[in-house]
Amino acid sequence: MKQAVVLFAHGARDPAWAGPVRRLAATIAETAPDLVVEVAFLELMEPRLDEAIDRLVERGVRQVRVVPVFLAEGGHLKRDVPVLIDAARDRHPGCELVLVRAVGEDEGVIRAMAAYALAGSGG
């Protein structure tokens, strides 16, 4: 069964803002070459989440894991995104869609950010 991960970010007016999310997608694709990896945005950038999911299903993907690349689970992730996921489930009943917690809620990510801050790294 074809599987995919959608890295879902907020979006911004500045196209350069998406650079880290796109680098994350490239890193995942290198690490797991059999996994389809897409980037999608809530607003201000393309593709939007619904467009990305629709395209994946058209490509034969039947399992999609949506990974919010957000620091925390605020209003968008609590209210807006579940509505988008439910609508995608209605459009694609044969596809398993899973929304996971925001990356910033993960303890490993918190520890990595703390280590970065303590190291005083500038990039």
Angstrom CA distances, 95 to 7, 26, 79, 109, stand at: 17, 24, 22, 29
pLDDT value, residue 1: 72
pTM of structure: 0.92
**What are the domain boundaries of the chain?**
3-119
Q: Which CATH code is given to the segment(s) 3-119?
A: 3.40.50.1400
What average pLDDT does the segment 5-16 reach? 96
Clarify whether 92 is annotated catalytic.
no
pLDDT digits (tens, 9 = 90+) for 53-97: 999 999 999 999 999 999 998 888 899 999 999 999 999 999 999
User: Which entry of 10, 36, 45, 64 is annotated as an active-site residue?
Assistant: 10
Q: Does residue 61 contact residue 95 with C-beta atoms inside 8 Å?
A: yes
Strand order in the sheet with 96-99: 36-41, 3-9, 63-68, 96-99
